[in-house]
Structure 1
Amino acid sequence: MDTALPRDSAALTYRDAVEADVPALVPLIDSAYRGDASRTGWTNEADILEGQRTDPESIRAVITAPCSTLLVVERDGEVIACCQLEHRGEAAYFGMFAVRPELQGTGFGRRILAEAERTARERWGVREMHMTVISVREELIAWYERRGYRRTGKMSPFPYGEERVGIPQRDDLAFELLVKDL
């Protein structure tokens, strides 16, 4: 296991999001995935999707859903990242992972992913972590593979026509299921 600290090894705190966090979380998630701000980081969807990544209603739904949480990550009292965890039987689903673009590539993502896996194991006793990644995002999939996730080849369709998840710039998008034994 890679235990190296990020170049900026300031203490991170983790907590479950509350509705009062929604105004900070929507722009954080959008900036990590879409638009010019996302290009500051290494893992964005700006070339394959335009438009919003999320909206306040979607964030509230994750926060208030049973067996679900949006884990908020703070450094010095400022929200710098988040990720969704959802209990699904013997597995947990990991999604909506966002790190402020200027902090991507510093090691925070690796630390936050490890904490999310630990949280899911301890909170729900799950044996696996599942996630879906847009299949054309090879660099991101490779990053997850280096952290123990494996490609399953199980694909699900991209929701073309649902602008609330973005406006596709290509016609070959699909989600691939990645799995890691915890």
Structure 2
Amino acid sequence: MDTAARPAFRNATAADVPALVALIESAYRGDDSRAGWTTEADILEGQRTDPEGVLAVIEGADSKLLAVESGGELVACCQLEHRGSHAYFGMFAVRPTLQGAGLGKVIIAEAERFAREEWGVAEMHMTVISAREDLIAWYIRRGYARTGEMTPFPYGNERFGLPTRDGLQFELLTKKLG
């Protein structure tokens, strides 16, 4: 991908589900994910998402899944969900071989712009596995703040992966938009 070129954003459709699942899995799980820096392969095995979960985001009344393309190829995606006074940002994946080149910054800025301008929300929320200090530091550099508000990882629910260690939890990060 030419990182100088602006990627194209579009709403994902049901036809995109197989490619989106493959992208998300490659960014977070298994050996392919180790080509990038956002891998969860050292703390979680199994799946990151499934076709049903991706389709639910695409078809949700208050959500969208942005597909990000460059040169006609799917290179990234992110979920946005309108939750009243704030938006939720999730399911963020960048092709592992493109990570670290600035694409993530462009995508999160577009997601924030959309949430602020189209939904009129004043804040973006996301949850990150608290053990992912490198990823949390990346979000802090983008203006997000740690809240200390934790939610337990759904141990025993293989739909979210198979933890390889105890003590995993999600931390809420927030950012004022405006």
Question: Which range, TM-score by smaller chain?
Answer: over 0.9
| Identical pairs, percent | 69
Provide the rounded CA distance (Å) in 2 between the counterparts of 1:158 and 1:38.
Answer: 21
Does residue 90 (structure 1) correspond to residue 56 (structure 2)? The answer is: no
Name the CA distance, whole Å, in 1 between partners of 2:149 and 2:3. Answer: 37
Match for residue 67 of structure 2?
72
CA distance in 1 between partners of 2:22 and 2:47 (Å)? 9
TM-score (norm. length: structure 2): 0.97
User: Separation in 2 of the partners of 1:169 and 1:30?
Assistant: 17
State the distance in 1 between where 2:101 and 2:2 align: 6
Partner of 2:23: 28
Determine whether 1:61 maps to 2:51.
no
Counterpart of 1:102?
Answer: 97
Using the TM superposition, give the Cα deviation of residue 11 of structure 1 relative to its aligned residue in structure 2, in angstroms.
2.6
Alignment-derived partner of residue 160 in structure 1: 155
* Amino acid corresponding to residue 59 of structure 1 in structure 2: V
Q: Taking structure 1 as the reference length, what is the TM-score of the superposition?
A: 0.95
Q: Give the alignment partner of residue 128 of structure 2, picking from 133, 136, 139.
A: 133
Q: Distance in 2 between matches of 1:74 and 1:107?
A: 14
Structure 1 contact 91–126 (Cα < 8 Å) conserved: yes
- Provide the rounded CA distance (Å) in 1 between the counterparts of 2:111 and 2:6: 16
Select the residue among 106, 120, 125 that pairs with 2:115. Answer: 120
Is there any run of 5+ residues in structure 1 with no aligned partner, and where? Answer: 1-5
**Counterpart amino acid of residue 65 in structure 2:** L
Pair 1:15-2:35 in alignment: no
Q: 1:108 offset after TM fit, Å?
A: 0.2
One of 162, 165, 168 as aligned partner of 1:173: 168
Structure 2: state its 5+ residue gaps.
none
2:135 match: secondary structure: helix
For residues 121 and 32 of structure 1, the distance between their equivalents in structure 2, rounded to whole angstroms, comes to: 27
- AA aligned opposite 1:126: V
